[in-house]
Amino acid sequence: MLDPILPFSFYQKSAPDLAVALLGCPMVRRIGDQWVGGIITETEAYTEDDEASHSFRGMTARNAAMFQKPGTLYVYRIYGIHFCLNISSGDEGRGEAVLIRSIQPLWGIETMRKLRLWPEPKPIKGLCNGPGKLAQALAIDLSLNGVWPGQKSDLQLGPATQPVEKFSCGPRVGITKNVERAWRFQASTHL
DNA sequence: CGACCGATTGACT
DNA sequence: GTCAATCGGTCGG
């Protein structure tokens, strides 16, 4: 587990600001009595006025967590087979969130490898570098949807030990609307 | 109610 | 480069 964890006030930022602030932060997930995870390296921001966002057409049963208090986890199923992890941002009642796209795996790599069904040794690089892969490696599913990542939670985030000084912006991946909005953020240094 | 599509991935040509 | 896997939201009849 992490100590300290990110406080509520950390999440009280606009989605793009939070997306940048989360770069370099550790994220861990409890698997049995073990904690696995790594450092966040890539994020994307989504807001209510954004056609590419699930919250664009208002609150539904699926996206309700986006409108809950900052920090609340929003997990949804994509293409019927994968899960994506998001973190609610902005004020409560606003449908904003940050998609966690990639982490640098650091802790419990063997456990994550098993969860990803990797019998053979492969480059660690491909273990968590994508929202679906990340969710599989950390066993993220709908049981985490709506959860606030606190001290007692099975998923926790902490302040960056070594803040990210350089990052790049670019178009978000896999969307067809608002493609000109460069709200994908990637840490430049591999930490 | 049915058709279509999506904040993805991995296997295959 | 193409394509299937397969769930739930959205839109049209």
Q: What is the per-residue pLDDT across A1-54, written as a single tens digit (0 to 9) for each?
A: 999 999 999 999 999 999 999 999 999 999 999 999 999 999 999 999 999 999
Quick check: A173 CB within 7 A of strand B? yes
| Mean pLDDT of chain A, nearest integer | 95
Residue A130 lies in a domain: yes
Residue A16 lies in a domain: yes
Pick out the nucleotide with least CA–C1' distance to A77: C7
pTM exceeds 0.85, yes or no: yes
Residue A129 lies in a domain: yes
The nucleotides of chain B lying under 7 Å from a protein CB are 5-10
Number of compact structural domains in chain A: 1
Distance A117 CA to B10 C1' (A): 12
Residue A189: the pLDDT is: 82
Q: Which domain holds residue A81?
A: 8-187
* Tens of pLDDT, residues A150-178: 999 999 999 999 889 999 999 999 998 89
The nucleotides of chain C lying under 7 Å from a protein CB are 5-11
Residue A132 lies in a domain: yes
Quick check: A127 CB within 7 A of strand B? no
Tokens 């390296």 -> residue = A41
State the nearest residue by CA to the C1' of B6: A79
Residue A3 lies in a domain: no
Pick out the nucleotide with least CA–C1' distance to A131: B8
Domain of A138: which CATH number?
3.10.300.10
Residue A1 lies in a domain: no
Residue A122: the pLDDT is: 83
Residue A131 lies in a domain: yes
Question: Mean of the pLDDT values across residues A79-99?
Answer: 96
| HEC sequence for chain A | CCCCCCCHHHHCCCHHHHHHHCCCCEEEEEECCEEEEEEEEEEEEECCCCCCCCCCCCCCCCCHHHHCCCCCEEEEEECCCEEEEEEECCCCCCCCEEEEEEEEEEECHHHHHHHCCCCCCCCHHHCCECHHHHHHHCCCCHHHCCCCCCCCCCEEECCCCCCCCCEEEECCCCCCCCCCCCCEEEECCCC
Alpha-carbon separation of residue A43 from A34, A60, A82, A115, A184 (angstroms): 25, 23, 17, 22, 6
Quick check: A118 CB within 7 A of strand B? no
